[in-house]
Amino acid sequence: MDLQLAGKTAVVTGGSKGIGLALVRTLLAEGMRVVTGSRTITAELKETDAVPVTVDLSTSSGPAQLIDSAIAELGGIDLLVNNVGVGDTDEFAKGARFNLLELPDDAWEDTFNLHFYSALRASRAALPSLIERKGTIINISSIGARLAAAGPANYNVSKAALSALTKVIAEQFGGQGVRAITVSPGPVSTGVWTDPDGFVGRLAKEQGVAHEAFVDQLISGLGVTTGRIAAPEEVARLIAFLASPVNITGNEYLIDGGMIKHV
């Protein structure tokens, strides 16, 4: 299938690993020119033809810095994917360990800066170019936004805000040709799940359970119908399809193996 993306341009936040890296590779394979921003440039990212920008997207100036660099490199932006997420494992784990009385303000602020404000700021900076080129914004949320009581509370709430932001962008700028879509993955085989020192790996150690066995327990307990974790490449393919010229905007697409079961 020709997704009609060849020759177009994309900015991907958090493209150094995980879903972001898989997406960079997928978009490049579709013939797009890609700029990506992250705090570190991994060896795997260097092996691609993407243009990497070293930037801290959790800062107030970082997202605009990335977009300015991308426009200078690409001339204009057809697609913005706000993907950056999770960040420091220890900080991520605090939201799962502490309740509202225990989780301090700075944990909420750090989480919202990374997951919500980075997307808001990048979108605002990119919108003039996206309006000019009738482009698309895709926000990578999480099924955690629908499961606020489970997992890191501050992360889940920030992702719920990100999903709402998609609706706002779609409504305010749809008349100018800009589409906005949310993609909400469930468990994905990134470092959060696969790294022995990642979030799930640390939980397994704390409970004295082998990592793989603990993952299987979680997948079963979460009600993943397919019985497996999604691959980053599967999420990337969904994003690439949604970036193609289709009459879709304001919607959320789950890729969760059947976890969310309500209509």
Read off the pTM.
0.95
- What is the rounded CA–CA span in Å between residue 173 and residue 131? 8
One-letter amino acid for residue 10 of the chain: A
**Stretch 204-215: mean pLDDT, rounded?**
85
**Stretch 249-253: mean pLDDT, rounded?**
98
Task: Tell me the per-residue pLDDT of 35-52, one tens digit each, with 9 for 90 and over.
Answer: 999 999 999 999 999 999
- Whether residue 164 contacts residue 182, with contact meaning beta carbons closer than 8 Å, is answered with no
Look at residue 89 in the predicted model and tell me its pLDDT.
Answer: 66
Percent of the chain's residues with pLDDT above 90: 78
- Indicate if the pLDDT at residue 235 is higher than 90: yes
- What is the rounded CA–CA span in Å between residue 158 and residue 125? 20
Cα dihedral 212, 214, 216, 219 sign? negative
**Stretch 75-86: mean pLDDT, rounded?**
95
Structural domains for the chain: 9-188+231-255 (3.40.50.720), 189-229 (no CATH)
Task: Tell me the per-residue pLDDT of 155-187, one tens digit each, with 9 for 90 and over.
Answer: 999 999 999 999 999 999 999 999 999 999 999
| Sheet of strand 252-255, all strands in order from the earlier edge strand to the far edge | 51-54, 33-38, 9-13, 79-82, 136-140, 179-185, 252-255
Look at residue 212 in the predicted model and tell me its pLDDT.
Answer: 87
- What is the rounded CA–CA span in Å between residue 243 and residue 10? 10
- Indicate if the pLDDT at residue 1 is higher than 90: no
- Whether residue 175 contacts residue 134, with contact meaning beta carbons closer than 8 Å, is answered with no
Confidence grade of residue 204 (pLDDT, cut at 50, 70, 90): confident
How wide is the angle at C-alpha 53 spanned by C-alphas 47 and 55, nearest 5°? 130
